Amino acid sequence: MLSKTKSIALIGTDARIVEVEVHVADQGLSHFAIVGLPAKSVREAEQRTRSALVSTDEAWPKRRIVANLAPGILRKEGTHFDLAIALGILAASGRIDNEPLGDWIAIGELALDGKIRPVRGALAAAMACRETGHRGLLCPAANAPEAALVEGIEVIPLETLAECISWLKGAWSPPPIRAAAQDDTGYTEDLAEVRGHPAARRALEVAAAGGHNLLLVGPPGSGKTMLARRLPGILPPMTIEESLEVTRVHSVAGLLAERAALVRTRPFRTPHHNISLAGLIGGGTGLARPGEASLAHHGALFLDELTLYRGEALESLRAPLEDGVVRIARSGGSISYPCRFSLIGAMNPCACGYVGESGRCRCSERQLDNYRTKLSGPLLDRLDVQVAMARLTKDELLSGPDGECSAVVGERVRKAKELQAARYGSSLTSNASAPSAQLAKVVRLSGAATALVGLAVDSLGLSGRGVDRVLRVGRTLADLGGSEAVTDEHVAEAVTYRALEGEGRTA
C-alpha cells in the first residue's frame, strides 16, 4: 500500500516542499530503505522511527518498506523528516487515514521513546506552507510559537507521536500555542558615556544612518570598542519585514528552538578573532549553516582587533560586503544566505599600538610595513568611513561626558533612514546598499563638489569603488542634515573619511 505525506528541505533560508512517499509491500522480507538523495542523518531515521513507533504501541510492519523523498535531485539533510516518515508508514499500513495528511506539512525529530524533538527551520517551513497553499504545519511543540509567527496557516504543536496519531483520529485536541516572546532586549550602553572623540562619534552616526562600513583606528585604550558597542543604541527598530528575515536566518541556524522569539532587536555580532572561515561566512559539514555574517543581517558585525583575524576570513568578506549575500558552493549545488550588515572594524595603528607617540612605539619599519599589509587594499576600499582616534587628554579623561545621548543621535538616524526608505521605495535599502543607477539619480554634484572628488582621486589614489563610497557617504551626510542636495560641504566631509588610505592605510 502506498501513502504520501509532506515535509521540507532547507535550502539556505528557504524551505522546499518534499513529498514523502512510503510503500509497504504486501509480501517480502522485512527491510527498510530510504531513497531520494538522503544524507546520513536522514537514513538514520529508520532506527529512530522504528523505536518511536514501538514505544507508542504501534507495531513495526515486518515487510518491505520503501520511503522515497521527492524530488530526487534535491539533497535531503536533517532529522526533521522523521515525523513525516513515521506518519507515512502508519498510513501505508492502514492504521491512520492518508487523505487528511495531504493538506499538512510535517516536521520533527523522533526520540526513541516517541517524543518529538525541536528542529531547525520551523519558520521557513511555516512560510513555505503558506506560500504553497497548505492548510497547516505539524511540528514539535517547542517550535510551535516560532511557526505561529506566520499568519494564515494552522500550527499543531506536538509533544509526542502518540498525540499526533490521536489528533489525526480526532481523539485529541491540541492546546493553544503560547505567544512567541518579543525579543525586545534594549541596549543599555549609551553614547553619552563616551568622553571626547567628536569626530569618531560623528562617524558612528554616519555609519548608522547610511548602513556604511566603519573602521576605527587608534591606540590601546582610546575608546574604539566602547564606541563601537554603542552603535546598536542609535539604530532604529527593525520593520516587521526585517524582523522576519532576521528571525528566519536565526531559525535555520537553530537559535530559536528554546526561546521562539521574533527577533526585534538589530543583531550586533562580535565573533572572536580565532573564528574559522566557515564560522564567519557559513558552511560546515552536512547542511551548510549560516555564519556570523548572515547572523548579523540587518545589523552590525563587529570585528575587534581586526588584524588578528585570519587573512582568508577577512578576504572572504569582500564579496558579501558588495552583494549582501553569502553564496556557499557545494558539489551538490549552491546555497545562499542574506548578509546585509555594517562591518565595524577596530584596530591599533601598529603592532605595539603606539606609532606616532614619541618614545612609545617599539616597531621597526619592517614591522610597520608587515602590520599595514594585514589589511588588504581591496578590503580597505570597502570600508566607507575610516576614522583615526587619538589618545584622550587628561582633561577629557577626568571631565564628565559632554556628548549627546543615544536617544538624540538615534532620532537623527531614524529620520535619515525614513528619507532613504521613501527615496528607494523600501525600508530594506540604504544609501550603502542602493543600486548605482538609483544612487546616480539622487547624487548630482556641483562643479565645486566634482572638483573636490577629483582632488581626492589625485591625492588619495581613490579607486572607482572609493569614489562611489564617497558619493554614498555624502548622500547620507545630506540626509542627516535634512538637505535634498549633496553639497560640496557634504563631499568634503565624506572625503575626510577616506584619509587613512592616503596615510599608508593604518599609520
CA distance 7 to 105: 5
* Ramachandran quadrant class, 416 (left: phi over 0; alpha: psi -120 to 50; beta: rest): alpha
Looking at the structure, do residues 380 and 240 belong to the same domain, yes or no? yes
Q: How many other C-beta atoms lie within 10 A of the C-beta of residue 466?
A: 21
Looking at the structure, do residues 17 and 109 belong to the same domain, yes or no? yes
Using CA atoms in the order 376, 377, 378, 379, what is the torsion angle rounded to 10 degrees? Answer: 50
CA distance 468 to 433: 11
User: Is 474 among the domain residues?
Assistant: no
User: Is 127 among the domain residues?
Assistant: yes
* Strand, helix or coil for residue 178: coil
Q: For residue 29, what is its C-alpha cell?
A: 522480507
User: Is 165 among the domain residues?
Assistant: yes
* Per-residue pLDDT at 254: 81
* Per-residue pLDDT at 426: 86
User: Is 481 among the domain residues?
Assistant: no
Domain boundary residue, one of 148, 179, 210: 179
Question: Of 252, 335, 251, 344, which is closest to residue 299 (Cα–Cα)?
Answer: 344
Looking at the structure, do residues 199 and 337 belong to the same domain, yes or no? yes
* Strand, helix or coil for residue 420: helix
Domain boundary residue, one of 391, 423, 455: 423
Looking at the structure, do residues 65 and 212 belong to the same domain, yes or no? no
Look at the pTM and tell me if it is higher than 0.75: yes
Contact assessment for residue 192 and residue 186, using Cβ atoms and an 8 Å cutoff: no
Looking at the structure, do residues 107 and 244 belong to the same domain, yes or no? no
Question: Of 497, 496, 443, 446, which is closest to residue 472 (Cα–Cα)?
Answer: 443
* Per-residue pLDDT at 340: 95
Contact assessment for residue 219 and residue 348, using Cβ atoms and an 8 Å cutoff: yes
* Per-residue pLDDT at 505: 43
Looking at the structure, do residues 345 and 247 belong to the same domain, yes or no? yes
Looking at the structure, do residues 19 and 39 belong to the same domain, yes or no? yes
* Ramachandran quadrant class, 335 (left: phi over 0; alpha: psi -120 to 50; beta: rest): beta
Print the domain residue range for 371. Answer: 191-423
The single residue listed with the C-alpha cell 554614498 is 472
The domain total for the chain is: 2
User: Is 469 among the domain residues?
Assistant: no
Looking at the structure, do residues 157 and 215 belong to the same domain, yes or no? no
Looking at the structure, do residues 249 and 358 belong to the same domain, yes or no? yes
Report the 3 state secondary structure along 380-396.
HHCCCEEEECCCCCHHH
- Could you write out the DSSP letters of every residue in 329-379? EETTEEEEEE---EEEEEE-SSSSS-TTSTTT----HHHHHHHHTTS-HHH
Looking at the structure, do residues 14 and 61 belong to the same domain, yes or no? yes
User: Is 496 among the domain residues?
Assistant: no
Looking at the structure, do residues 22 and 43 belong to the same domain, yes or no? yes
* Strand, helix or coil for residue 172: coil
CA distance 339 to 290: 9
Question: Of 229, 225, 219, which is closest to residue 348 (Cα–Cα)?
Answer: 219
Q: Give CA separation, 40 vs 21, 44, 79, 111, 287, in Å.
A: 19, 6, 10, 17, 11
Domain boundary residue, one of 159, 179, 199: 179
Averages of pLDDT over runs of 10 residues in the chain (507 residues) are 93 92 85 92 94 93 92 91 96 90 95 95 93 95 89 94 94 84 65 89 96 94 92 91 89 71 87 93 80 95 94 93 88 82 94 83 88 88 93 80 87 95 89 91 87 88 90 95 92 90 50
Is there a cis peptide before residue 219, judged by omega within 30 degrees of 0? no
Looking at the structure, do residues 388 and 246 belong to the same domain, yes or no? yes
User: Is 439 among the domain residues?
Assistant: no
CA distance 135 to 358: 72
* Per-residue pLDDT at 470: 94
**For the domain that residue 137 is a member of, what is the CATH number?**
3.30.230.10
Q: Give CA separation, 395 vs 217, 387, 391, 392, 403, in Å.
A: 22, 22, 12, 8, 15
* Per-residue pLDDT at 55: 94
* Per-residue pLDDT at 335: 84
Which DSSP category does 405 fall into?
P
User: Is 103 among the domain residues?
Assistant: yes
* Per-residue pLDDT at 260: 55
**For the domain that residue 271 is a member of, what is the CATH number?**
3.40.50.300
* Per-residue pLDDT at 507: 39
The single residue listed with the C-alpha cell 572607482 is 464
CA distance 78 to 351: 45
Q: For residue 252, what is its C-alpha cell?
A: 535555520
